[in-house]
Amino acid sequence: MVRPNFPVRLGAAEEALINQLKFAGADQAAERITVAGLPTRRVESYHYTDLKTLLRAVPPMAQPANQVDVPALDLPGSYNLTIVNGVASQQGTAPAGVTVGTVRGGVLTTRDDTLIHINNGLVREAMSLDIAPGVDQIIQIARRIEGVAAHVADALKIFVADGATATIVETFTGSDAAHVGNHATYLALGKDAVVTHVTVDLSGRDTSHFATNEYHLADGAKLRTLIIHAGSDLARTHLYPRMAGQGAHADVTGLNLVSEGQHADITMETNHAVPNTSSQPLFKSITRGRSKAVVQGKLVVARDAQKTDAKFMHQGLMLSDDAEILSKPELEIYADDVVCGHGSTCGKLDEDSLFYLLSRGIPKAEAETMLVRGFIAELVDPIENEALAEALNGIIDTWLLAGK
């Protein structure tokens, strides 16, 4: 790496990360931060989430903690796993068709991204899941940070076999402290596999939550994701779906729910690598108070990926004048026989719809809640499992009621 002509002034967070990476033997990742520091708004993918400014401190690496066997979501019949302070634990006997194990080191593909370098540098051992055909239970992984303020880097690697169907739910919670979490999930879908993957950040308000989800789809695989930010003061989730097999399709969806003082960012890069693939990313952001929601979405179509059908949409709803919603859709297309597009809208509650409900005798607060629920509905409605859909709607209702 070539050093710049002028030294980078490092803050307390950067110094802490450098020391932690060096202690873990990740000298190359430490050197990257030493040379360039944390990403600033000058880095295109972090233009709206300036980590050097937003991440002021990084606490010490987490110590082992007692495992917590109460899942964050009440999903009857689910198979529950935990990763507490980076240590994986299996609760009970895995159902037939599910194999739980571990793999050494990080799980993410190396990219030019600081958070990914940090995760790959700090993770010593990751949980692995292999899911065969015939598994009908929801698999819920509770990823928690317990105890005093701590920095946790953990990882999960999942393979869903050819022809298998799986519903995987990850929740992020923990004690009420100024934690920093850097979480990684690598999910590979075999041929004709069908997967629903839901991740929900319910961390305390003092937490900084970072997650990277990487997806690899083989021929005919079908993926639906739902990312929900509803907890941390600072949250950023990276999504990297790769359509690697013909006939693969991904519905990549996400929701930012941000209130006073919060900053939530969903950044996606979907790669269509082969012909005859499709994706339909849909993201929504709802902001109130002095808060900020960010959605960045890039669709990359390779030169040989003819007949790609990909459409990106972000819709924002501002419930206060002080709120901000920032959107950056991008297309990077190298093929010439494709149907691709992107769009972004942002506004307040529709006054005509609100007036209609008020004219029918519905109180204003209830009428506003009804409109917001309607705005969100198309993200949750496709979730086929009723218990999971009910739990997700409960999270949304709790957020809505907190603002009343």
Lowest mean pLDDT among 6-20, 203-217, 263-277: 6-20
* Cα three-residue angle 317-178-172, rounded to 5 degrees: 60
pLDDT per residue over 301-358, tens digit each? 999 999 999 999 999 999 989 999 999 999 999 999 999 999 999 888 888 888 888 8
In residues, how long is the chain? 404
What letter would DSSP give residue 61? Answer: B
Q: pLDDT above 70 covers what percent of the chain?
A: 98
Q: How confident is the model at residue 5 (pLDDT cuts 50, 70, 90)?
A: low
Tokens of 167: 């519903």
Q: How confident is the model at residue 294 (pLDDT cuts 50, 70, 90)?
A: very high
pLDDT per residue over 72-129, tens digit each? 899 999 999 999 999 998 877 899 999 999 999 999 999 999 999 999 999 999 999 9
What does the mean pLDDT of the chain come to?
A: 94
Q: How confident is the model at residue 369 (pLDDT cuts 50, 70, 90)?
A: confident
Backbone CA torsion sign across 363, 365, 368, 372: negative
Q: How confident is the model at residue 381 (pLDDT cuts 50, 70, 90)?
A: very high
Is the pLDDT at 6 greater than 60? The verdict is: no
Mean pLDDT of 351-376: 86
What letter would DSSP give residue 177? Answer: S
Q: What is the DSSP string of 298-315?
A: EEEE-TT-TT-EEEEEEE
- For position 297, what pLDDT does the model report? 96
Per the rule left: phi > 0, alpha: psi between -120 and 50, beta: everything else, 271 is beta
Stated pTM of the model: 0.95
Q: How confident is the model at residue 404 (pLDDT cuts 50, 70, 90)?
A: low
Angstrom distances, CA of residue 45 to CA of 67, 265, 296, 345, 364: 36, 11, 8, 20, 39
CA distance linking residue 140 with residue 197, whole number of Å: 10
CA distance linking residue 256 with residue 235, whole number of Å: 9
- For position 102, what pLDDT does the model report? 94
pLDDT per residue over 134-153, tens digit each? 999 999 999 999 999 999 99
- For position 363, what pLDDT does the model report? 85
Contact 158, 185 (CB under 8 A): yes
Backbone CA torsion sign across 39, 315, 333, 276: positive
Q: How confident is the model at residue 199 (pLDDT cuts 50, 70, 90)?
A: very high
Q: Which residues on adjacent β-strands are paired with residue 139? A: 79, 168
Pick from 353, 241, 235: nearest CA to 308: 241
